[in-house]
Amino acid sequence: MILFENRKELLLNIIKWGNNPFKKFVSTGEIKEGLDLVNSRIDLIQKIKELVESETNFILPIIGDVGSGKTHLFWALRNNLYYYNTIYISLEYVYKKLFSNIYSEFIENLEMEPLKFIVNQLCDKWGALERKFGFFHVADIEKVRKYAFEQLSDKYNEVGPETLMDVINGITIHQLDPYKKIEAERWLLGELMDEKELSTLNLAHDLRKGKNAYLMLRLLIENSKSGTILFIDDFGKIISIMSPQSKQVEEIFDPSWLYGTEETSNDIAADKIFNKIVQLQYVKGLRIIITLKSKESLVDIRKKYKEKNPELLSSIREPFYLLEFKEEDIYELYSNTMSKFYESIDKSDFTKEFQNPFYPLNKRILKYVFEKAEGNPRAIIKLLIKIFNEIIYSNESIDVILKDYENTSS
Amino acid sequence: MSNTENIIIYDSVKGINLKGDFEGSIITRCKDENNSIIFSDNLKISDSEGIFISNGLRVGFELIYDKKIAFSRKIEAQWYEDFELIDYSILISEDIMQVYDEGQFSDAFPYTLNKLNTAALYLDDYEYGINHLEFFREEMLRNPVSLVGNGVIVADRVVIDERIDPVFYDCLIVGRDEEGDLLVSFEPYMNVKKSLSDLKYIIILGIEAISF
């Protein structure tokens, strides 16, 4: 029978088994972040929420330094605006097959039932649900396709008739041809398909083809009942690949040998991405949020819009800034993370157990971390990971480890 | 006119006779010896001229020599001057029809048999009875129309189960309650046990009959 349990010792033991409450210092678009924003950033979310709810088409730049929590902001937005389809794309990793990648993300976020509903509504608009004798649906697929083509060809004339027919065929087969429905569903989900599979469906390309993916995205977003937010992280990549490289860097391969002196391969790549982003701006109901590392990047982007698409310049909203943490924020971050940690080890009661609310650290150490990291969230988390790792791996007692930090701070 | 409630346009039992033009999904049950049913998207009714239906589909049985044959015949335009020939006409609400539509596009059973021509699957008749249920056991057929007791069943598909009983999926049911009032309902599926119910007939509508 346990008469007394030393909770502090128990917590330290659990940590010493290798359980670091602070595990990662980089957010990604793939791994869900459960931790909400700190209080000082709630206003920012509110402002974004107001903009998203009042306007349907815009580009909103979010400017923040490296490690200031731009990607984490995406997760906070997604949690707060759960009734929107919020998609994440990082230009750092995805700048080839942009539309296809956005489509995959969109479908993953949307899920199957809403996708079927939108596709069904589209077919209804194209006259597929017409009831013969008031009751019977015997859709004439060819008639439906012809009508759909007439309806869409003016509106989406920039994609070309082949793309339009592919998309109309894919959708109508899925809804109206029960014998090919399963294959058509694979196509709708953006799966890779070979020539044989495509020819069974009478389609030329799957949705890896940019134009097809773009048109499908457009149709789905414009006909979706919930709005869509596209969060493009590291948007400054467009600028960085366009900016001239230092002359001092010795080049083994000079791209001008292939592309001529007027335009480098980087220029072409940047232009392609830029044009695709511009195309996305024509999708009704698509709100775009971009993240940038500096104000200068925004100036460059505005300049590029002015040169190439001045009519879209007005869609770029005034930027919101992700400021560094205030001192109170580190205490909040620490407390929230520790609470999550206690939940994960099934010891939620530990949140109120210790006299020092920041046990096993203390307020002086957290202040030291804040000052040392200069308020940068990523640097703060890195330092906290380091301290906890020392607690885990050092043979010294916790008091000795913490004293070292306290001495450094004083 | 988009109706949110079922409208009984004509009911010979309850003496309902609404004059005017009606559009939507209308089921008219005839009082002939073969219990035929008319599906139409319009119906006009007046005291002087009777009931007028254009572009409808009449479904039933006819006796040809010594055989009863199921038919589905398009009605271009027809007056039913004698109200005695009609049991009831009912306009199904748009809400119910929308639920029915969703069932029509269900992808749960993609491999359903479509018949090209209208044919009888079952007819309960002492002299001219038809029973092809055994032949279609564990198969699924599209567009069945059935008469069970007082009720008309129009379904998206019918499955003949292992006990050789029909199971209707995504079906509209129109019938009378104990007091003779007309009622309409939608059922995702309905099992009709031949031994326990008064199954009069099942007709499978051919694609040709409802496509052109």
> Which of A359-368, B15-24, B46-55, B79-88: highest mean pLDDT?
B15-24
Q: Is A178 on the interface with B (CB under 8 A)?
A: yes
Q: Are residues A240 and A289 in the same domain?
A: yes
What b/e sequence results for A84-122 when a residue is b if at least 16 CB atoms lie within 10 Å of its CB, and e otherwise?
A: bbbbbbbbeebbeebbbbbbbbbbebbeeebbbebbbeb
Same-domain check for residues A212 and A301: no
Q: How far apart are CA B170 and CA B188, in angstroms?
A: 4
Provide the CATH number for the domain formed by B7-92 in this structure: 2.30.30.100
For residue A257, being part of any structural domain is answered with no
- By CA distance, what is A138's nearest residue in B? B211
Over residues A370-402, the pLDDT tens digits come to: 888 888 888 888 888 888 888 888 887 778 877
Query: How many angstroms separate the CA of residue A173 from the nearest CA in chain B?
Result: 12
Q: CA–CA separation, A63 vs A320, rounded Å? A: 6
Tell if the CB–CB gap between A132 and B210 is shorter than 8 Å. yes
Q: Give the chain A residue nearest B108 (alpha carbons).
A: A178
In a domain, A31, yes or no: no
Nearest CA in chain B to A117: B102
Q: What are the beta bridge partners of residue B145?
A: B154, B203
Residue B1's pLDDT band (cuts 50, 70, 90): very low
The terminus-to-terminus CA distance of chain B in angstroms comes to 25
Q: Say whether residue A175 is in contact with chain B using an 8 A CB cutoff.
A: yes
Identify whether A396 is part of a domain. yes
Q: Do A133 and B143 count as a contact with CB atoms less than 8 A apart?
A: no
Quick check: A131 and B55 CB within 8 A? no
CB A211 within 8 A of CB A158: no
Whether A114 and A12 map to the same domain: the answer is no
* Residue of A115, A121, A122, A135 best to disrupt the B interface, most CBs of B under 10 A: A135
Nearest CA distance, B58 vs chain A (angstrom): 10
A109 touches chain B (CB under 8 A): no
In this structure, the answer to whether residues A19 and A58 fall within a common structural domain is no
Q: Is residue A192 part of a domain?
A: yes
- B104–A182: do the CB atoms touch at under 8 Å? no
CATH number, residue A79? 3.40.50
Q: Is the dihedral of CA B187, B192, B198, B201 positive or negative?
A: positive
Q: What is the pTM of this model?
A: 0.75
**A53 and A109 in one domain?**
no
- The number of beta carbons lying within 10 Å of the beta carbon of residue A205 is 18
CA distance B161 to A359: 67
* Boundaries of domain holding A396: 7-24+326-409
Chain A residues with CB-CB distance to B172 below 8 A: 135
B143, A129: Cβ pair inside 8 Å?
A: no
Least confident of A148-157, A253-262, A329-338: A253-262
In a domain, A168, yes or no: yes
Lowest mean pLDDT among A240-254, A279-293, B90-104, B148-162: A240-254
pLDDT in tens, A206-255: 999 999 999 999 999 999 988 899 999 888 877 766 555 544 555 566 66
The CATH architecture to which B94-211 belongs is Roll (2.30)
Are B210 and A136 an interchain contact pair (Cβ–Cβ within 8 Å)?
yes
Tens-place pLDDT, residues B138-179: 899 989 999 998 789 999 899 999 999 999 998 999 998 888
Distance of residue A119 Cα from the nearest chain B Cα, in angstroms: 11
The answer to whether position A15 is within a domain reads yes
Residues A317 and A382 in one domain: no
Peptide bond into B110 cis (omega under 30): no
Residues A293 and A333 in one domain: no
CA A97 – CA A88 distance, rounded (Å): 15
Kindly provide the ipTM of the predicted complex, given to two decimals. Answer: 0.81
* Structural domain spans, chain B: 7-92, 94-211
Residue B108: band (very low, low, confident or very high) from pLDDT cuts 50, 70, 90: low
Q: Let me know the angle formed at the C-alpha of A17 by A11 and A20, rounded to the nearest 5 degrees.
A: 75
**Interface check A192 vs B, CB under 8 A:** no
B111–A178: do the CB atoms touch at under 8 Å? yes
Q: Which percentage of chain A shows pLDDT scores above 90?
A: 25
**Among A133, A138, A140, whose Cβ lies nearest the Cβ of B39?**
A133
> What is the domain count for chain A?
3
CB contact under 8 A, A136 and B111: no
Cα A137 versus chain centre, distance: 41
Among chain B residues, the shortest Cα distance to A139 is held by: B211
- What's the mean per-residue pLDDT of chain A? 83
Nearest CA-CA distance, residue A286 and chain B, Å: 28
Do the domains B94-211 and B7-92 match in fold?
yes
Query: Quick one: pLDDT band at residue A327, thresholds 50, 70, 90?
Result: confident
Distance separating alpha carbons of residues A253 and B144, to the nearest angstrom: 72
Q: Are both A211 and A109 inside the same structural domain? A: yes
Helix (H) or strand (E) holding B2: none
Query: Nearest to residue B113, comparing CAs of B138, B145, B148?
Result: B138
Q: A406 — contact with chain B (CB < 8 Å)?
A: no
**Mean pLDDT across the stretch A62-85?**
87
The DSSP call for residue B113 is B
| Claim to verify: residue A155 and residue A237 sit in the same structural domain | no
With tokens 């080049």, the residue in question is: A251
Q: What is the pLDDT of residues A160-213, one digit of tens each?
A: 899 999 999 999 998 888 778 888 999 999 999 999 999 999 999 999 999 999
Instruction: Flag whether pLDDT at B33 surpasses 90.
Output: no
A339: amino acid identity, one letter: S
Domain contains A378: yes
Chain-chain contact of B41 with A182 (C-beta, under 8 angstroms): no
Q: How distant is the Cα of B2 from the closest Cα of chain A, in angstroms?
A: 13
In this structure, are A269 and A367 located in the same domain? Answer: no
Looking at the complex, report in whole angstroms how far the Cα of residue A70 sits from the nearest Cα belonging to chain B. 42
| Sheet containing A286-292: order of strands | A85-90, A228-233, A286-292, A58-64, A320-322
Claim to verify: residue A110 and residue A205 sit in the same structural domain: yes
The verdict on residue A300 lying in a domain is: yes
Which domain-ending residue is among A307, A322, A337? A322
Q: Which residue of A has its CA nearest to B55?
A: A133
Query: Using alpha carbons only, how large is chain A's radius of gyration in Å?
Result: 27
Question: Within this chain, do residues A346 and A396 fall inside the same structural domain, yes or no?
Answer: yes
